[in-house]
Amino acid sequence: MDAVNIDAMLARFAEQWSPKKIAQVNDYDVRIVKLQGEFTWHKHDDTDELFLVLSGELTIQLRDRQVVLRPRELFVVPRGTEHCPRADAETAVLLLEPSSVINTGDAGGDFTAAVETLS
């Protein structure tokens, strides 16, 4: 594997809420995604989910509080925790999650996206 330039990978797509796989670590994907607006409330019963903000600002809404992330800040949503990401302006995020994870977790719906691999 060669070095991966995250900025160059982000420049290759414009669509939002559509994660792109840029690397794999064992059975985990390293994914990047552009976000703007509010996602859907959902949870992942079998896995934690790591969000690392690359640019912009991401609010992870939880049922009892909100976590605001700025560039170079990360947050891990524990497995089974209902959450709803929101970005008021376009935000770039790196995700670390099992390759089998569906982005909308248990919710399904219009935001469900197949993960495309960028190479």
Q: Please give the mean pLDDT across all residues of the chain.
A: 93
CATH code of the domain containing 64: 2.60.120.10
- Looking at the domain assignment, is residue 95 inside a domain? yes
Domain hosting residue 49, numbered range: 6-117
Total domains in the fold of the chain: 1
34 located within any domain: yes
Query: How many angstroms separate the CA atoms of 52 and 95, rounded?
Result: 6
**Residue appearing with tokens 């935001």:** 111
Q: What is the pLDDT of residues 28-67, one digit of tens each?
A: 999 999 999 999 999 999 999 999 999 999 999 999 999 9
Q: Is residue 1 part of a domain?
A: no
pTM of the model: 0.92
Helix (H) or strand (E) holding 22: strand 20-25
pLDDT at 105: 75
Residue 51: name the closest of 38, 68, 26, 64 by CA: 68
- Which two structure tokens, joined as six digits, stand for 98? 């099992």
